[in-house]
Amino acid sequence: MHTRESRGARVAPWIVFAAIIAVAAIVAAFFFMRGRDGGATPWSGRSREYTVGLTDQPTSLDIRTNDERGVEQALVGNVYETLLTTGDDVSIASNLVARWVPSTDGLHYSFILRDGLTFADGSALDASAVVASLQRTITDQHVGYEELGDVATVRNTSDSQFTIDLHKPNPRLLWALTGRAGIVYNVRAAQRAGDDYARHAYGSGPFDVATSDGSSITLTRNDHYWGRKAAAARIRLAYYKDEAALADAAEAGNLDVALPREAATARRLAKHDGLRVDDGLGMRQTLLALNSAQESPFSDVQVRQLTRYAIDAAGIAKTQPESAAQLSGPIGQLQPGYVDLNDLFPYDEAKAASMRAYFPYAYFHEFTVLTDETHRAVGEQITATFNDVLSMPATLEVVDTDELTKRVAGGDYDCALVTLEGIDDYRNFVDGSPMFHYQNGEAQRIYEDALAKTDYNEYRERMRDFDRVVSQDAASAWLYENKDFVVAKRAVSGVAAQNSSWRLPLAGLTSRG
């Protein structure tokens, strides 16, 4: 009995080894065949090309001089990176910069870069490269340079540290470095290549630009990337002439991801079994713009306020398919200074009618509610409110979207149902801009005081006061913040919907199955 156990112990390791070899061969053969059949392996998403469909094709890849939303959507976060970024609560967060130290008087900022940063060509992204990029942005007046107008000097104190000194406090400096002004370009490499930013990219992001033609931009994975490498080897950004063409391509299976701008397109694609529609909060704002010019009925604050009471903003926000959330002031949730003001003008027809009684019946001359086809139904609802509840003689005028945008920008309207892009649009309520012809001394003082703060958080708190004052004065009748949409094949993931119409980071784009 004892002798047999000894013999078994001597031969068992060979049996175990042979079994391991056999199992390994079977597993390897399985994955080899899966790979040949196009099936998923743990690495399949890293070698394939994805196609992302969009409609806002940039006219140039030169992100220094092209202020279009489309070029920012395509390149920032993918090819180019900013020194800082924003957190979910609109706080300032690290990006290329690991940490920063502001002086108490707000005139001096010290920044420390992350370790191991490189550009796409493998050269070091150090403090001297940052200084060269910031200086070029200021001197050449690249997009966003105005936010750096108070900068006195930019200098590097070591390979990993640089400083910015200001002539006067600029509490928006850190916010500016999360945007166009904070992009770091490989200035030296660009100069050697003749500064051909229109056709080539000189960034540090997880992708580089491989090709760009009249209908697409192809991104390739940057294998020199300092952070986590992109999941996809290649991504083709395919641009379509309109939403219908985009939807057709998605339904035909030609797109892995699509970004429709219109809720109607998202609803259409949601009916397709092979597609998934996600939505998130975007920058765009839909509002009934009120023209405060002297000849307009809305030059009177009481008329503006009774209008807001008469409009069921909460109900409209709940029923519109493109609405992400009700909005009641000029600053949206993705901008510093937002505060929930939905309780300022609750829907109250009786109160609105009572305020209307202050004015003689024939006080109001006939005026138009201007809108486009997208907002026709809401425009009809608001026009009926003016006529039936407020006895204000209003007619609806529906024009194409380009005409609507042009007329609102020039102040050629009485009131207009319109969607604005939302990037710093609140500034139109500061200085009597032609868009609204709105002026309020208290709002102007608060805004100037906010800009004089030495700290970003203090600035943000003061902008909340600005938001409230402008809303209380009913400078317009805000309705809701719009959704951004991302449509993807069900096996595809890794593309966030929030703010995707401005920033579309694609490093996480991957698939299963």
With left for phi above 0 and alpha for psi between -120 and 50, is residue 145 left, alpha or beta?
alpha
φ/ψ of residue 96, rounded to 5: -70, -35
End-to-end Cα distance, the chain:
54
User: Superfamily assignment of 46-239 in CATH?
Assistant: Periplasmic binding protein-like II (3.40.190.10)
- The pair of structure tokens assigned to 382 is 């608001």
Write down the pTM of the prediction. 0.89
pLDDT score, position 299: 97
- The pair of structure tokens assigned to 398 is 């529906």
Task: For the chain, 513 residues long, give each residue's pLDDT as a single digit of tens.
Answer: 333 333 333 444 444 344 434 434 443 444 433 333 333 333 345 568 999 999 999 999 999 999 999 999 999 999 999 999 999 889 999 999 999 999 999 999 999 999 999 999 999 999 999 999 999 999 999 999 999 999 999 999 999 999 999 999 999 999 999 999 999 999 999 999 999 999 999 999 999 999 999 899 999 999 999 999 999 999 999 999 999 999 999 999 999 999 999 999 999 999 999 999 999 999 999 999 999 999 999 999 999 999 999 999 999 999 999 999 999 999 999 999 999 999 999 999 999 999 999 999 999 999 999 999 999 999 999 999 999 999 999 999 999 999 999 999 999 999 999 999 878 899 999 989 999 999 999 999 999 999 999 999 999 999 999 999 999 999 999 999 999 999 999 999 999 999 999 999 999 999 986
Q: Strand (E) positions, 230-272?
A: 234-239, 257-258
Domain ranges of the chain: 46-239, 282-483
CATH class given for the domain over 282-483: alpha beta
**Angstrom distance (rounded) from CA 147 to CA 180:** 9
**Cβ-proximal residues to 181 (8 Å cutoff; 6+ apart), any chain:** 137, 142, 144, 145, 147, 148
Q: Residue 147 in 3-state DSSP?
A: helix
pLDDT score, position 423: 85
- The pair of structure tokens assigned to 513 is 């199955």
